[in-house]
Chains A and B, each alone.
Chain A
């Protein structure tokens, strides 16, 4: 157990729908990072939150959004889902800027049908 909790582990939904993925960071970590991993891509950085505020942004689609709550858990919202959004979505927690690395959760596997 890495200490980073992601729910749900699996999610199957139809095109056009909206889903919310949840992440609880490791105790003491203020940063949450979201990554997308598809079959033909490596880990693509989506977005980072630090203590409730957006800190860094990667290749995140406009249909996707995230937030971090006062208790530091984070949610990634994916809307108007397309088949190509099927992927593993990982949350990681750590310090600011990646120093000392991140601790990853076990991911949410999203399947859009």
Chain B
């Protein structure tokens, strides 16, 4: 079935390096995507979003890229810091089973920042 998936389950980067977390989606009708960060023991926290009419969106130290041709989404974190260590989820807004829209989450990528 249609789903949102993540390419890598874990990613280890050195402090100060840039991180790239990838996500593939299969529902070409999806028009809104979000990246969430989840730290241990906490709920997911909104990082950045992008609509399908955009290719790129920048926040503070984070950039989301959307390639609709290959249905690919990526999150770039600049100058990764130890506090960035967490699980990152991409999510797409799509129609649920009976009606109405809800966010469908991928399984997550664990980012580990080493000193």
Residues on A lying within 8 angstroms of B by beta carbon are: 2, 4, 33, 35, 41-45, 48, 50, 55-59, 90, 92, 96-107
Stretch from B12-20, B62-70, B93-101 contacting the other chain: B93-101
A103 to B36: give the CA distance in the assembly, Å. 10
Q: Mark B70-105, 1 if CB is under 8 A from A, else 0.
A: 000000000000000000010101001111111111
Given the known interface contacts A42-B89, A43-B89, A101-B49, the answer about A48 and B43 at a Cβ–Cβ threshold of 8 Å is no
Given the known interface contacts A56-B99, A104-B44, A106-B42, the answer about A42 and B107 at a Cβ–Cβ threshold of 8 Å is yes
Within the complex, which residue of B45, B46, B96 is in contact with A58, where a contact is CB–CB below 8 Å?
B96
Residues of A contacting B42 in the complex (Cβ-Cβ under 8 angstroms)? 106-107
A-B CB contact pairs (8 Å), 22 listed: A4-B43, A42-B89, A42-B105, A45-B105, A56-B98, A58-B96, A90-B43, A96-B101, A98-B34, A98-B93, A99-B32, A100-B49, A101-B34, A101-B36, A102-B46, A102-B103, A103-B46, A106-B41, A106-B42, A106-B43, A107-B42, A107-B43
Task: Give 6 nearest A-B pairs by CB, closest first.
Answer: A56-B100, A104-B43, A97-B101, A43-B105, A98-B93, A42-B107
Given the known interface contacts A2-B43, A104-B44, the answer about A98 and B107 at a Cβ–Cβ threshold of 8 Å is no
